[in-house]
Structures are given as C-alpha cells and as structure tokens.
Structure 1
Amino acid sequence: MSAAFFSNQSTSSDFSGKVPVEHLDYVYIEKCKDVKYLEKILEVLRSGKEGFYPHLLEFCESHMKKLDPRNRALRKENPVATAASLAKDEWSQIFDDLKIWQEETKTTETLLMQEPMIDASMKEDMTPIRGSNCSVPLNQTAVSKEKRNCSKHPLPRDYREWDKFDVEKECKRIDGNVVTNDPPAIANNQHPQIRTEVDASLKSQQEKLLLANREKDKGNEAFRANDYEEAVAYYSRSISIIPSVSAYNNRAQAEIKLEHWHNAMSDCQRVLELESGNVKGLLRRAKVYNHMGQFQLAAEDLRMVLRKEPQNAAATQLLCETEKRISECRPEQKSKGKTILIQEVEEEDNNRNARPVEPSQPVGGEESSAAPERGDMGNAQKKPHGRGDGGPHSEFNNSHHGHWRSRGGSSDKYKFTQESKEKLANGTSKRGSTASVKADQSSGGKGSLAGGNEGGTLSGGNAGETVNLDAPCGALPPALSRLKNEGNLQFKNGQFADALEKYSQAIQGYADSGIDSPEDLCILYSNRAACYLKDGNCQECIQDCTRALELQPFSLKPLLRRAMAYESLERYRKAYVDYKTVLQIDISVQAANDSVNRITRLLIEQDGTEWREKLPDIPLVPLSAQQHRREEPPSEKVLQARAEKAAMDAERKAEARFTVLKKEGNEFVKNGQYQDALGKYTECLKLKPEECSIYTNRALCYLKVERFAEAKQDCDAALKLEPTNKKAFYRRALANKGLKDYLACSSDLQEVLQQDPNVQEAEKELLEVTVLLRQSLANSNVSPAKPRKTVPITEVDGDQETTGDPNSENSCRGEDIPTNLQPTDAYEFGQALNAACCSGDTAICAELLASTTPEMLPHFLSTQLDGHTISLIMQAMDSHLLEKNPSLVYQHLNVLHTTDRFSVVLMLLNKDERRHMTQLFEHLAAVESSEFTMNDVQNLANKYI
C-alpha cells in the first residue's frame, strides 16, 4: 500500500495527478481513444518515474501510431552527426567544403577592409543617427585620430624655471582672469530630417519587399522608443517602396500618438480599402472617430470588431466608453405635466373674429396603448428618451448610422454560438487552409459541406438516439453500406483514424465486389479525403479528391477539399483554380469566396500585377453542373411555408415601419415641424388605417397648421373607432372653433367634461366659446339681413333638358353664390371650388386657379379631389388660362399630380373627362414658350394619361 501510495504521489507531483498508476496497463491503453491522454501516459512511461517497461512503452507507441500517425509525441530525436557516424569519403568532402568556405570568407573580408564601406553617393542617402542632428562621415574620426597621433607633445620645463614660478599669481589668473571664449552649448532637440520616400524603381520585387520590411522594422524600433515622428517617417519610407496593410496600420497608430487625427483617419481608410474588415484598422479608426467626436461611427466600427473577435478586451472597453459618451451627449428630457396656455388673440377683421386657442408648447402624439392622462387634452404626454429608443448606419434603419442601441451595445451579442463554432471547425470558416470539410451526407445529394452523416439515419451518438448502421447507401451492398455508415459516425465523433480505416475497407470492398456505381465510389473517396485533411495528410487528400473528380467531374465537395489541401501546402495557384471552379458550381459557398479573396492578395504579393498570367487554366463548368442555376421546383408545403413566412415577415416589417414612422412623427411634433409630421402620420395610416391614436395625432398637426376641416375629419374617424376618446372630442372642438361653428364646439367640450370633469383646459375653452357664441348671436341680430336670392321656378316639359349653361335662367348662377376668389387656406379654397363645381362655371374656376400659387394647389386639393373636380380644372385651364398664361398652366399641371389620392382618382375618370385632359395637353404642346418645351409637356402628360 505504501509503495503504491508513494508511486501515485510521484505521478501527481510530476504530472499534476492526471495519470493514475492504474492506467499504465495494456487493457486500458488498448481501449483508450483519447490521443491527448495517451500522450500523457507515454510521457509517464518514458520518464521512468513508475519504472521502465519497454514492451508497454512500445505497445503504447504503436497504439498511438494507429490513432494519429503524425503525432509529435512519436517523434524521436536523432543524435548529432559526427565523423564516426559518417563514411570516410562523405566526411572528407564535408571537411573540404568547410575549408573552402573558410578561405573564401577570409578573402572577402580582406577585400572589404581595403575598400571603403560606403561610397560618396551613399553618404547623402544615409539617415542620421537617432538623437543627433547630423551624421558624422566615417573617415572623419580616422583623420582626427591621425592628427592627434601626429601632433607633438610639449617639452617639459627646466628645473631652473620652476624656481621662478609664482604659484599664487598663477592661481589668481586661473580663478578670475581667464575668460573663456567658447560659445555656450546649445541643445538641439529638432528632429532629424529623414526622407520619407525611397527610390526603389530599379530594384526587383524581392529586393523591394526586403527593403520595405527593413524600413518598417526601423519604424517599429522608433515606435518602441516613443519617437513617433521618426516612426512615421520610416513607415512612410516603407509605404513608398511597397504599400502594405501592416505599414499603414502602424503609421496610423503613430499618428494617433502624435494626435494627427486626419492623417490617422486617411491611413485607416487606406487599410480598409486594401483589406475590408481589418480588425486593427477598424479599431484605430474607432479611436480617431472618438477623438473627433463622431461617437456613432466609432460605435459602428467597434461592433464590427466584436463580431470578428468577440473576446477583444480593448474593443469592449472602448465600446463601453463610447456608449457612455453617446448617452452623455443626448439631451436629458424630463417628464413634465402638460398644461395648455390659453392666449387671447385680437380679431383682425369682423369676418375672422375668432381663432383656436393653441397650446403654449409643442406636443407629440400619444401611444396607442396608453390611456389618456387626466388634464392632458391638447398635448400628448412627453416621455424621456429611453436608451432603447431608436430612430429609423440599423441593419441592419434606413440611414447609414442608426441609433447606437438599436443593434445592441454589449459584446455578448457577438459571441459565437455552438453552431458557429462547429461550422468553423468543419470547413466553413474563413481559413480554408486549416479547416476541413466533413464527409458527404448522402450519396449523390447536395447536402451540406459540413455534413458527416448519411441522410437522416445516422446521429452523433448522443444518449437516447438510435443509430441505424445498416441503412442502405445508394447501390452499395449491405456490408459496404455498413462500413460507410460506421465511417460517417466515427468521423462525426472525431475519430478520424478509425473513419479513415472504414472508408479504406469500403473502397477495397467496392473494387472486389465488381459493382458499377461511380457516384458511390466518388463519395467514398471524398469522405476519405476529408479524413486525410483532418489528419493533415494533404498529399493523400489531393490524390483521393482527384480520383473522386475523375469519377464525377465538377463534384463540389472534392473540389473544395482539394482546394483546401492545396492551400495548406502553399500551392496557391492550384488552390485558386479549384476555389473558382467551386464558385462556378455554387456561388453561395462562403468559404470559397473568402479563400479566393485571401489567395488573390497572396498571389499579388508573390507574382505582382501579372499574377493572372501565371495561373493554370480555369475549367469552364457546364450549366448542367451549376447548382445555383438548376434549382428543383419547391413542393406545395415548401411554397405554403414560404408564403406564411413572407406574410409574417411583411407583417413584422410593417409593424416595425409603423413604429419608426410614428416615432418620427412624434419627434417632428415636438420640434414644431407639423408639416413633416403630417406626412409621417399619413404613411402610418396607410399601414394601419384602424389606429385611433394616429388620427388624433394628425388632427393635432392639422390644428397647428390651421387646416380645421381636415382636423375635424380625423377626429370623426377617431371617434368612429373609439366613440369615447376624449382627445378626439377635445381636438374636434378646437377644429369647430376654428371653423366658427361655436355650437358644435360647445357640444364637444361638454362631452369631454361629462367624461372627466377635472379637465381644466376644456372648462376654459367652454367659457371662451360660450362668450363667442353669444357675441355671434348678438351680431346676427343687429346686422341687417342679407337679401335672399329668389330662384324662379318654371315648369319644364318632359323632353326638355336642363343644361349647366351659366347664362340660362334655370341654372344655378355662379354669381348668385358668394365666392372668395382669393382664398388663404384650404377651407376657403374648398368653398370657392365647390361653388364653381355646383354651377359648372369654368370661368370662376380659372380665376380661382389664377389667384392660387402652384405650390399650394396640392395642399388645397388634398381632401377635395375627385374626378369631377379634375375635369373642371382641366376645362378651365384649356378654355381660359391657356391663352392668357400658358406657363401658369404648365406649373399647375406639374404639381397637380402630387396631390394625395391623385392616382386613385385618375383611374376612376370616364372617357369624357380623359378626353378633356388629352385635349389640354395637345393644346399646351402646341404653345411656344421659353419656360418649357414639347418634350417637357410630353413627359408631364405621361404622368396623367
């Protein structure tokens, strides 16, 4: 017991207790499949701490060789070669070669000592020593030494002269009378002038690369010495020879240290042009954006860095700081209670003696789900901006820089999921040279490039899952199908050596069985090639992939695996050809796209601009082999699922769009931009016409721009949806007040107070409206009544028709209807236009159009547009305005088609109305004008006809 205890203690001390003594056994080693653990067992056996067991050691090495033939633990050191270990002739040859090399070295050294090391022409291009302001020629020190050696020493004094020497006098002379004429030392801290460009036009590509790397290393050394200006100079020299991503990145970092933000930004932009998605370039550009105050752009770059490297601590820290700065820059908005300030407005004239009472501060629309607050009738409740509020650079929002919180601010979002890690490990990662592709999923099917199972019958060996190893595989016999299924299962479990053995047995059995199924044999070779690629045996992988492609030309997976093997062996030209062939077959293979971009850069650095001429011929893939061109028609279930998904996506997008538009409309209202808010709320109603809160919000905007008729219509629509909506009643009361319908206004305000008696705004409005109502009644009683129009009534025979001739006595005369031909708002324009439509008087309509500016025409017609109105406008323009002012007609037509609902009304026109429209454009095209041409009229007519 004590011996076992001490042996176990020794194992624990030397190998961290990971290999118990019980595991040093033939049976355990034979059953063990973990190569890493077998390495530890082999280390214990070789150390001799538990004793020397040569046979057990040899057995462990042979078992490891089966599992991993290329394992580093199996490598053995060879002794250093000496004269005794070599043949006499071979040793004498080595000795003679060394002797010749020694003599040549001595000869070269002698020649170098005789000749000057640096020519005069090279002295000018030499950079000065760092820390000094000039460079000292090499021969200057030698000359000074020779002069010192050649100068004569002064003779010593005679002893008789020493008797006459006055020590006191000499000391005084030294102490006070000696005046030094030497100028004071001047510290020169100026940076040496280093040329930032190097002329390397006569050097080869290899020499340029070597020289550029040397200059970059000098810059790195200067950067480590905190001499950033010198570092920038050397990096510039390196870039002038060969522009590289690393040199631009390093120079950008040095410029950041010097706080040259614009230079650093240009270098970062250059890095991202050469290599899009470069992590260092994005990170340094984010730093520059931070110092320049563009925090939104900095946050976008940092999120891109964290998508590529989720564990990047510097990016995570900088993103947190950037988000904090963004939150600090956002103005704080405090929630306040809403009050409506009622202002008294003086009447400008008797016809317009009342104006609606306006709230004292800008307001926004309310949320549809929120209940109306007590006492807040004119304004919607303002809410402070939360961190999650975002406007419409979101992926991911329509603008380039969306709200920084709309896409997540923490780095947890960019962590890799388990599925992503498996994809990266199985061949869909960007590094195609280190990743491999699993075995084919099915015989002859498309499948996934990372699949190792056959169809859906094999599983990964998880608990509770059944594995059908006897599932049929194409035309293979049952025994070969079982071998293939076992290989697929072992491949999925990571036992690549065992899977390789199974696939090899299946291939041998295929040859012995004499069956003819090229597809199945192609899949076997492709799967075995995947095992070779996992083990790093790229030569065997290439051979198996070539055999598979001989059986099934343009097979996707063998091509991709062979390309990865070529890339691992640094045979980039052949890898490029295979990757391009893969993309011809299926352009959606992301690993091939990434590898092509990566290899292109390597080939450009290696072969220069003529790298394409050195490539082998890329085979042309026939259309029948291009998978992205021959998609099978989907089934009914797939089509139904797609339709449901499309409907859900459309609904989700509409909901998101509605939310964004509503927030934008509310923001416009808060900023006092009511006209812009109207457009946003109108778009919201197109998406959700049954949303009551949007109608009340738009009614508020109409009140602000004094479009009272439209405000009343929106309030009516809101009350149809919610008959007890207080805001709709209150805002309709304001609209009625603007329309001078004080009785209806009083009724709506009483309804509001009946629902909630504590609404002070409604009480104040009711008092004011009551006063206005009394004044209007009193004025109507005092002022003389207008003479009523008498309309003669005559009997008409049955066959007689009444026409709309304005001159006939039976028609509704235009002059009998009071018409304001100079309207100032949509209400007055609508009244005048209705009068003209009632009488059919094109002359009145023409005068109305002549007094209206073309820009205001869509605004005035927004709620009154129909087919009869368009027809009347066209006839008025054609018969009255075209001769007097054709440019005004063109301007009206140029804006008329932008009116709301114009396209719907245009489709409902009858033949006569369309004929009037066509006739107008024909007459307008015949007019000669300097403001428009016939082509302009034709282009405008295409929008109407």
Structure 2
Amino acid sequence: MSEDETSYGNQSAAADYGGKVPVEHLDYGYIETCKDVKYLEMICRVLKSGEEGIYPHLIDFCESHLEKLDPRSRALRKETPVATAASLSNDEWSQIVEDLKTWQEETKKTETSLKQQSVFDDTHNRNMPPIRGSNCSVPLSQTSVPKEKRNSSKGTLPRDYREWDKFDAEKECERIDGNLVKKDPGVMIKTGHPKIKTKVDATMLTEQEKLPLANREKDKGNEAFRAKDYEEAVAYYSRSLSIKPTVAAYNNRAQAEIKLKHWHNAMSDCLRALELEPGNMKALLRRATVYNHMGNFPMAAEDLRVVLREEPQNAAATQLLSETEKKMKECQPELQGKGKKILIQEVEEEDDDCNKDETEAEQTAHPVEPSQAVGGEESSAAPGERGDMGNAQKKPHGRGDGGPHGEFNSAHHGHWRSKGASPDKYKVPQEPREKAANGTSKRGSTASVPADQSTGAKETPVGGNAGESVNLDAPCGALPPPLARLKNEGNLLFKNGQFADALEKYSQAIQGYTESGIDSPEDLCTLYSNRAACYLKDGNSQECIQDCTRALELQSFSLKPVLRRAMAYESLERYRKAYVDYKTVLQIDSGVVAAHDGVNRITRLLIEQDGAEWRENLPDIPRVPLSAQQHRREEPPSTDVLQARAERKAEVQFTALKQEGNEFVKKGQYQDALGKYTECLKLKPEECAIYTNRALCYLKLERFAEAKQDCDAALRVEPTNKKAFYRRALANKGLKDYLACSSDLQEVLQQDPNVQEAEKELEEVTVLLRQSLANADASPAKPRKTVPITEVEGDEETASAPDSGGSHRGEATAINLRPTNAYEFGQALNTARCGGDTAACADLLASTTPETLPLLLSTQLDGNTIGFVMQSLDSHLLEKDPNLVYRHLNHLHTADRFSVVLMLLEKDERRHMTQLFEHLSAVQSSEFTKNDVQNLANKYI
C-alpha cells in the first residue's frame, strides 16, 4: 500500500471515531505502518496524557517514528523549566549578581550628573534652527521666559470664574503681538511642482532589476493619483514605462490622462495596453470612456458590451453604457432626417509596407454627431484603428482608369477639409453644358492648365504634391475626350482628398454623358460608382445608395458599388440590407477584407438585436453567377482560413446557445436548458462550465446518475473545479452514496472553508452515513475490546496477532466473519488473502452488506485485493447467490480511489474480473438482466 493510501486510511479511521484515537491504534505495529503525521501526533498526545495507561517504551517508539517523518513536529517539543538560582552554579550566580550591582551604580552616577548639568547651556547663546518653509531663525532668548517672571508666576493664584467672564481674548492677543518685534522676513512659499524627469536610464539593468524599479515608480504614481495630483502621476507612470512597459502602468497613466482630459494621450495608452494584453477589461473600459468624451458613441458602446459580457456585474460599465445609449438616441432623430456624417481617417503608410502598392484608402466609417468635424487635424478616431470604407484592400482586376473606381496610390499624407454637398448643387446648369461638351468647366482653370501652352504637352501639374504630373487627357474607355478629362480631374481631386470638388466633376461628366447620347453602360456605371464614393466620404449615405443602385442597374454584380452600398446601409443602421450586400461582395471576391470585417461586425449586432433566430429576418441573398465572379481567387482558401472561419462560426453559435440555456435556467425551464447545453457540448466538448451547468439541470430534474457523469467529465477537464465537486456531492446524496458525498463535500471545504452550503450538507450527510452503517450492522452491539499491548525489547518487529492465525494454503482459515469496523474487516480480509483461502473470503463477503463494502474496503483497496475479491466471488459466491454478487459489484466501484486502482491492475487480475462478468452475464435472474451486467462491466473493464 502506498503512503497516500495509508494516510487516507488513517484519516478515514480518525473520522470514523469522531477525531478520537481508538485503543486498537495504540500498538507498535499500527504506529510503525502509519505515515500520517497529524494522526501520529494525536496518538503521541494520547500516550503522553496517560488516559489509556503509561507506556514509556511505546511513547519513545512513537516519538522516534514521528521524528523520522517530521523532525519539526510540535508533538516532539518538550518543556524546559525556568532557570533559577538552584539550577545555576555558585560562580555563575555570583557573576550575575555582581553585573547587576555594577549596572545599578553606573545608572545612579549618570542620573546625578544630568541633574547637575543645565540642558540649555550650549544652546543659550545660539539661534534655533530655521522653521521649515521659511528662511529665518528664532533666537532662543526671545522665546524663553525671564527667570523673574518664572519665579513670580509660582505665587499667582488662579483666576476666579467671574474674572474669566470679563476677560477679552482679542485685546490680550493684540497686547502680546504688540510686544513682539517683527524682524523676521516673510515666509517664502514655493509654488508649482519641481520638474520630474519622465525617463529613467535603465539600459545597464537586468530584467530582474528593472521590474522592482518600475513597480516602485508606479507606486509613486499611485500615491500622486490618490492625492489628485494627476500631472505628477503621469510623470511617475511615464518613468515606470521607460524602465519596463507593463499593462498596469499603461492603464494607470490612461486614467490619469482622462482626469486631465488629455483624450488622445489616454487613447494611445489604452491601445498600447490592449496590444500587450488583448481583451484587458480596464483598458477597454477606459477606451470606452475616451470614445464617449470624443463623441464616438458606437465604438464606446461596443467596448462596453465586451466588458459586460465578461463582467456582467461591472457597475461602472453598466452606467456608462446607459449614458452612451441615451446620447445615441438623442442624436438619432437628427441623423434619420439626413444622412449621417462619417468619420474617415487617413492612414499613413507603415514602415513595413511603405513599398507596397495600395488601392484606395477609404477607412471604416463610424457615425458621429452632426456637429462633429469630419477629417481634418482634430480627428476623433483612435490612432492605429483601421478599417475599410468603400473599397477593398485587395487590388481588383478592373481597368486602371484611376479615381475611386480604378487603381491609385492612397498614401496621401496631407490634411483635407470636406465641403458640404447636395444633389442639387452638382446639377450642370444650362449655360455650362456646351463648355462641358467641349471639355472645359467653370472650375477647370483652378485644376488644370490649358494643354496647348508652351510646348503643347498634355501632362500638366494638377493639384497634388509638387513635381507630380498627371495626364488629364488620357482616354477612359468609350468616353469622348471632354468627358474623359472631367473624369480624370475628378479622380485626381478624389486622390488629393478634395471630395466635394471631385463630386462636381463626376456630376458634370454624368450630365455630359446623358447629353452626348453615347452607349457605354460600363463607363456610366464607373461614373456613378465614383460619385457614390464621394457621397460616402462626405457622409451623404442616401445619395450614395441611390448612385450605387443606378450603377448596379447598368452593370449587375459590380464589386465596388455593392461594397459601397453595403457600407452606406451600415452607416444608416440598416444592418440586414448591409449584411446582404457584404455577403454578395464575398461571392464576387472572397478576398475582400472589408467585407469579411463588415459581416463579422453586423453578425454580432444582429445576434444582440434578434437573438439566435436572426437569420430568419434577413432578406434573400442573391446568388452571383460564375460569369460575374471575375474577382474570385483562383486558388481555394487555405486550410487555416477555413478553420478560422469555422471557429468563428462555432464560437458565435456556442455563445448564443449558452446564453439561451442560461435564460432557461433562470426561468426554471430545466428540460429546455438541457437541450441547449447538449448542443453547446457538441461544439465544444471540453468546456467545463457547460458540464457543471447541465449537471445542475439534471439535479433539478432528479436525474442524479446523469448529473454525476457530467460532474466527472467536468473534473476530468478541470480537476479542481469547486462547482463540480459540490454538484457531484449532491448527486451522490441523491444516489444515497453518502460516503462519496462526504468525500466531495470535504474537498469543497478544503478549497474554500467559507462555503456554508457545503458545511450544512456535510453535517446532514454525516448523520445519514452513521444511520446507514448502524442499520447495515445486523449483529448486536459488541462491547469494546481491550487490546493487550506487549512491550517489545530492542528493534524487533512485533509478532502477528494471535487471532489472525497463520495457516498454509489450502487449509481452512479461521477469520472474523462479523467485523464491526473497517479495521477488523481489513484484518479478516488480509488473513484470508495471505492464506489464499478464497472460500473464507467468500464467506466474509456473504456476511457483509453490499452497501457497506466500499466503506469497509476504503483502507485496503489495491490491485491485489480487488483481484482476490473477484476470484472469490467467481469461484464460490456466484453459484450460491448471484444476486448478492451483482449487488456487491454494483457498489464496489463507488469506493474511493477505485478508478485509480483500476488503472494499475495486472494482467491476471483483469482476467479474473473479465471471467467473473462473463459468468455473471450467463446467469438468469429476476433482479438484473444481461444488459445490466454489460453496463456494470463497462465501469470495470
């Protein structure tokens, strides 16, 4: 038997007797085999107390064995008497007395000298040190009271109460102030904080040295923050980050920046914290606070919902979300009347991607308040957050005619300011139509230089950066040269961020196309698509949708009009139509990143809005013919991409099912919740929380066996799960397996002693366990046996007990067939096993109640014991009483550590077990069927 098994057996024996040591354990043999330190200490205390008699040799033997296991045990400590004069020699005592006399004399001399010497002799003619915060010192002579006054004050009598009523404190204070000579200069008060360096040179430090130094600077910042000195807090947090960047320091500095209303700095710190630890709750909450102050309410609400999914009880997030949603509703009436303005952030090229070609840099648009500025230097978008608005990040295989519908480099680093745009403004009046037909316009002089100047070259600098030259007269499909020039000018203006001017050019080109009478649907589709991009940039989503629809009527399933219309729908919060257009884009070209992001975004919103049935409310998604899938990737998606898509889909479905199951549990609909949790486990079979939730449903429905199986599965995934132990205990209680229930409840209390429910259940189960044991014992109560204890000389081992008997194999073994406790049962079983007497073991099992077998075997459970029990049941008891064999087997597997011992069985022991179940399945009985035997065999084999 291993040490762990012996220790568990000792604890079980101590628990059986209510924490008291039985007399049977005060034995050399038991003490020698015991490995439990705490139980040995209890035995040692009982022996030392003399309650059961005084046995010096046995006490020494117990202490020596305990010292081997734990040399520092408290039970080995011995009291040492206080030293007195009698315990010391004469020389030592006289030396102590002389030292005390010498110390007493020296103390008296020192005290006398101090009384004779004046304390103020050295400081009488010297000034006192300056007062803190001033540059003056006060002479001691000014503050000291003259000796005459000190002496005269001794004879003064206390004032009468009537005099105190007439005493004027203000006059007395003025008289005292008038006697003082004010020669001290004014106190100099320093204002402002000393400049604190925000960087610390830690290049020569190791990583182990950096961490405590960074934590110390962060703690200084925390102290300054608590003192509401936020500027100083930012300085110390910066010092900490310069030493070692940490998530906590970034979060703290972000909070201090929020207090100072430095929104951009706070946003930067939140983003850095999220880079180090994605999903950090504090960083998300503070970023939402920044978004809220900057007017970006949808992004703030999205971050707050993420926080509340992880921490539903977060009061700050709940309050901020309600405020944000209220502000969004206040802006809603204004935004429905006219198209929402869209926040578009220009993205500068990264160092790693500076040499790569990019298509249009139209970023993800987020609705903002109508009064908020769009674009410009004071953009409220968070730095580093990118998206797509209107154009795919992937380079399409279309014609390279420039503009928002063609391919051009979007790395424009300048700032732009959009002008207001309306449909009526860009209608071409009657007067300039002839000019449009001839290729000139009202604003043409500001955008281009006549082509016939100087050398007559057609490449003319137009807007843009210095030195840039664009051929505005380049041909564009079937468009005549004047219209092609208008389109090229619009493309260049769009590239430079002048969207209102570009919109005017495209409108003139569309009007000229109508007047010219040419037939080129592809070119007209491009013009409408380009003008829709300008509307989208300017926040006019309604006009963008109209132009995209016209473009699609001319050329079905054109990629960019569908994508731009999807984003316009999303900005107007018409999510179902936006979802349909995004899915159509992915049919045309599955590599469009903006469409993938839009689908993921809208899927989350629709699940929150419509629940698990959100797909039923969607319009029909058109099927794109193969001929229109001109931008489809030739190679199939990689395995990683397909796996990532499947994981995202499964995650969304799993979250929805789990939430539905939780709602059913709150409503008390446990049968419906079972179905949802079962579907969750099909998606994620290793999710511990789902097993414990489903076990709760089984408990409520009194299906205790299934509840126990789910708790076992949860403990295989997470061996220390407290809920699984507690709910398995309740399942065992329902199955009337009180011993296993008690073991699980003790495990719960060992992890968390404050669980009051577990304490109450343990008290109740302990009573039930004692009652079951008392009912199972059919024999009359026997008087307590007196165990003789024999003194052993030397280190010889004790002999075997007289009644255990030693018989040769094959001879009849005399054993106790009526054991009263686990110890006596173990002694009888060991006697039969040592003698190889399976018949005696069968007689012992025949006289034992099956319900008590797991408890009696708890201290003797090992592979050899199980094999011997199986052999005895098969060879003797099966023929006499097969029903009793079945009941024994039905309870034996519930013994503690049975599953562990089962894995360690030898080949012969497994053979005996298999043979027993084969013979048992062939028996015809009214209490069990062949199927019952097979189900029981699955728990053993």
Same fold (TM over 0.5): no
TM-score (norm 1): 0.32
TM-score (norm 2): 0.32
